[in-house]
Amino acid sequence: MRATAALAVALAPALGGCAQLELAVANGAELTNGAYAREADVAYGSEPVQRLDLYRPAAEGPGPLRTLVVFVHGGRWSSGDKSEYRFLAAGLAERGLVVVVPDYRLYPSARMDAAAEDVARAVAWAELAARRYGADPERIVLMGHSAGAQLAALVANDPRWLAEAGARPVRAFVGFAGAYDFLPLTDADLIDYFGPPAHYAASQPVNFVGPASPPAFLAYGLEDSTVKPRNIRSMSERLKAAGVPVEVRLLPGEDHGGVLKRFARFFRGKDPVYASLLRFLEAPPSRAPGA
């Protein structure tokens, strides 16, 4: 126990950057966690990259159907891998949730529409498979970090994506350090990824917020130098104006990657934001009246 505590203290600053070494340590800590079970590389589509990892509580038995979380990883729409987020999914699964972490097509081999299609297909797969894993197909939450939060927010709020995939609207949305309102584009790769210019507006989740949008939990690190504060401010204001329940957590001292630190086994037991997130996931608030 002393070694674990010392490791937690030593890793606290490093996990804030979510570098590969620190991700490996956080994920490695879950290898001795017997509270969850994992099914890896399950196909949700015909493309080689359309694979997901599924996490569920290890103890199975009769009981109420669980919330199912679909987590979309970040990586500037051009990198990242589902295997890097075992620590996040395992932590939720040990608390009784079912978690799906899909890979999706990345830039430069794909553009935004292909990635959004993949996220929607993963949700459709989760909806069909939910009861097999003790989860409620009507209680699916889309969650993402950074670029993954942009894709998750878009799929959650622009109804065409899930409709085209044959899925129902999700129950709620959770975004950590998400990009929701980031025009104009200035970087060549992003201009290419989200283009042509006539398509830029369709890439902004804030443009699709309305009374039918799902309840949201939004977290943002106040030391984030990657995603501007305007993104969470604009998204939360649009949701509130539409009468949609939204819980906002501004995290002092946290940078862009540090917002995920609380999911690591070293931290999640005592983190108040993590506790609030679990309450939100287990019982998302009702949609706006009449939605």
Q: CA–CA distance from 134 to each of 11, 52, 63, 127, 144 (Å)?
A: 35, 18, 8, 12, 22
pTM: 0.92
Q: CA–CA distance from 182 to each of 218, 232, 235, 268, 287 (Å)?
A: 16, 10, 11, 30, 26
Answer whether CATH 3.40.50.1820 is correct for domain 2-282.
yes
- Residue 192, beta-bridge partner list: none
Pairing label, strands 51-57, 216-221: unpaired
Position 90: which residue type?
A
Any idea what the Cα angle at residue 131 is, between residues 95 and 278, rounded to 5°? 25
> Tokens standing for 20?
């590969």
Which pLDDT belongs to residue 61? 67
Which pLDDT belongs to residue 10? 34
Q: Domain ranges in the chain? A: 2-282
Q: Tell me which H or E stretch contains 57.
A: strand 51-57
Q: What are the pLDDT digits (tens) for 255-288? A: 999 999 999 998 998 999 999 999 999 998 876 5
Decide if 126 contacts 102 (C-beta within 8 A): no
285 CB neighbour count, 10 Å cutoff? 16
Low-confidence ranges of the chain (pLDDT < 70): 1-19, 61-62, 287-291
Pairing label, strands 51-57, 66-72: unpaired
